[in-house]
Structure 1
């Protein structure tokens, strides 16, 4: 009797019913798709994390790093609308920082990231984003907007305190270029990031007292017209 009932139920399933059942199974698979799996396929190799948990739509990434930049532990989820044009984009956020990230770059980033290890030879303590966006294509910067800011710990004992510089981002000869200036215009830095992740930063300080300039030169700065400066570089 039980076998006959199962046979009748199967015989009664219409083609539309089987398609609906298959659609529900596919929907369940998509909803439960692990974030770890999609993130591993969609993000560049320099993106690392201690752990990735949850579904692709609502997950958590612990100790996220983009190259040497420690983003921290973030909530992350795949955005459905960009999928309609074939683009994989994630919304990531934590207290004090939010952005949209894809393999092509970053968009609408706002907030602050601490840099405990500095930036090369520069004692940069934090990196700030003001509605910052950059898009790369074929290893070339194709669009950039918004602002970046850097806070440097005092580079010498004779300077009064931290230095904050900020500037507008733009593309220049295929690289991301951000000319930054301090509030008084006496501190200037040029930050250039190429599509392959190589970056260069050049800091110039002007208008310093002679004894302060001499102390900084002894610490690695070099003399420049109107001031002193130091350059450094690395790879993201």
Structure 2
């Protein structure tokens, strides 16, 4: 009896009714699509999280991490308009006393980040450098076919004390640019005695080179014993890794 009722109802719907019903079912599936599935499609393997909760349009990612960069717990959602041009774009935002926000995308035109602003604490440093935080101000970048295609904005970082004779933290900043297919950020301190150049390739491999100039011998000698190397006009150290 129930099967007969469904058959009669199905006949009564007609072709237009069936299309409407199918459309509503598809819309329901899209609206209720789990965020964790979309994150798996858009994000590279270096992106990890403790948990991903909620629907694709409004969810929560706990302890989001991009390689060595801990982003923290963020609210996240897929943006609708970029889908019209074949691009999956995810917006993330971390509220609180140290806010952070940005967009990550993949699809037509390449992969990249846009409208990134805020500070990421680095309790474990970055490679062999005691970098305590990495900041972004209006930062955007796009890689296409493994090459840096366009970039804009400022990158900042804070370097912890390098020893008893250099007790103060060092703040450096610089404008990002594309150079020989890589993302390059030449940073300088306010006094100009400390410089750091960060290079990132399309495969996620990065290199950072720190140079210190104008140091007296009694200050540079302990650093030379801890891994720094002598250079024209000063000393320096390099490190590398993968995002």
Q: Is TM > 0.5 for Structure 1 vs Structure 2?
A: yes
Q: Residues 216 and 32 from structure 1, CA distance in 2 versus in 1: closer, same or farther, beyond 3 angstroms?
A: same
Shift of 1:10: 3.8
Q: Does 1:116 align with 2:123?
A: yes
* Unmatched segments (≥5 aa) in structure 1: none
Please, what TM-score do these two structures have when normalized by structure 2?
A: 0.92
Q: Residue 44 in 1 paired to residue 47 in 2?
A: no
Q: CA distance change for structure 1 residues 148 and 4 in 2, over 3 Å: closer, same or farther? A: closer
Find the aligned partners of 1:216 and 1:8 in 2 and give their Cα distance.
85
CA RMSD of aligned residues (A): 1.7
Give 1:154's aligned residue.
161
Aligned 1:199-214 pairs, distance under 5 A: 199-214=206-221
Q: 1:232 to 1:6 in 2, by over 3 A?
A: closer
Say which SS state the counterpart of residue 126 (structure 2) adopts: coil
User: In structure 2, which of residues 168, 171, 174 is the aligned counterpart of residue 164 of structure 1?
Assistant: 171
Q: Give the structure 2 partner of residue 127 of structure 1.
A: 134
- Give the 5 Å matches for 1:132-143: 132-143=139-150
Q: Deviations over 1:171-198 (max 9, x none)?
A: 1111100000001111111111111111
CA-to-aligned-CA distance 1:24-46 (integer Å, 9 cap, x gap): 11111110001111111221111
Deviation at 1:209, TM superposition (A): 2.7
Unaligned stretches of 5+ residues in structure 2: none
1:176 correspondence with 2:176: no
> TM-score scaled by structure 1?
0.95
Q: What secondary structure sits across from 1:13 in the alignment?
A: helix
Question: Who is 2:195 aligned against?
Answer: 188
Query: In structure 2, how many angstroms separate the alpha carbons of the residues matched to 1:116 and 1:68?
Result: 10
| Residue in 2 that maps onto 1:228 | 235
